[in-house]
Amino acid sequence: MECNVAQQLNNNTVIVRATSPFVNIIDLADIHRGAKLSNKKNLKTMVSLIAETENLYVIGGGDGEEHATTTSKSSLMDEECHGADQVEELADILQPIAKKILFIKDGNHGSQRSLRHDNMAPERLLAKILGIKYIRGIGIALINVNKNLYSIAAIHTPRKTEATFDWLPCDAFFIEHQHTKYTNRLPIPYLNRTEHKWATHDRLYLRSGSFLDWGGYAMENYRPLLSEGSQILRLSGEKNKWDMRVYERVKDFKEDMEAK
């Protein structure tokens, strides 16, 4: 009988196959649509970039909606729209890139908070409107770029450290929630079963940013950052060259794409 852990991971995994020189991945997390400080302009600019860029895929991260409640730290008074209106507005914004979104997952503001408060998961409704797979907990994408296979995980993890996920042998982890962009690259040993010897390759931990301007609730909890979203991760499809490159800024990514 298959282990329950394996069943859960298989249920939370999507598979992508691409025949191209590279594939790019971005985690659109912590949009907080509905909050007065949610930067709609930056989000729409990012959506336009994704729509116009070939081989750029999207993970729909947690906290797509603000979803304040009467008992949450974020206040209903800090929202410009509420409830289902947040879901519908975000769906309208994301519709042009719906076919590029690999899955949509939950976060603490959305599914976790609202499930406790009113048994409603806004990310689940968003996924249904857009026709995309909805995932609770860890979301995983197995991405074949030509013959190079990459495993990419996305996790919305309050109060967790990177070491918590050492048990999961993914190549890169998008870690959301803290609205703080930085990348940690660690060498990980693996067994080369073809050559019968040990080797190493990098594992990436990418703490993603947000689309929430600094102020209000963010002033009490997060460092001031530009609300331009996450890093962009490039996966190489070059033969015998398994490689991951990180663009910390959208500006750097666009300049590199224009140079090509």
pLDDT digits (tens, 9 = 90+) for 53-95: 999 999 999 998 877 666 666 767 677 878 889 999 999 999 9
**What tokens appear for 13 in the block?**
């995994």
Amino acid at 42: N
pLDDT at 226 over 70: no
Between 238 and 109, name the one with better pLDDT.
Answer: 238
H or E stretch at 201: strand 197-207
CB 137 within 8 A of CB 127: no
Q: Which of the residue ranges 93-102, 150-159, 216-225, 227-236 would you say has the lowest mean pLDDT?
A: 216-225
In the chain, where the domains are located: 4-259
Question: Residue 150 forms beta bridges with which residues?
Answer: 143
Give tens-digit pLDDT for 234-252: 999 999 889 999 999 888 9
- Average pLDDT value for the chain: 87
pLDDT at 112 over 70: no
- pLDDT number for residue 96: 97
pLDDT at 7 over 70: yes
Over range 19-48, report the average pLDDT: 93
**What tokens appear for 222 in the block?**
């997060």
Distances (CA, A) of 115 to 84, 96, 119, 121, 131: 14, 28, 4, 6, 21
CATH topology of domain 4-259: Purple Acid Phosphatase; chain A, domain 2 (3.60.21)
Tell me the whole-structure pTM to 2 decimals: 0.91
pLDDT confidence tier of residue 163, bands split at 50, 70 and 90: confident
Give tens-digit pLDDT for 123-145: 999 999 999 999 998 999 999 99
Q: Which of the residue ranges 17-21, 62-66, 107-111, 168-172 would you say has the lowest mean pLDDT?
A: 107-111
- pLDDT number for residue 117: 65
CB 47 within 8 A of CB 97: yes
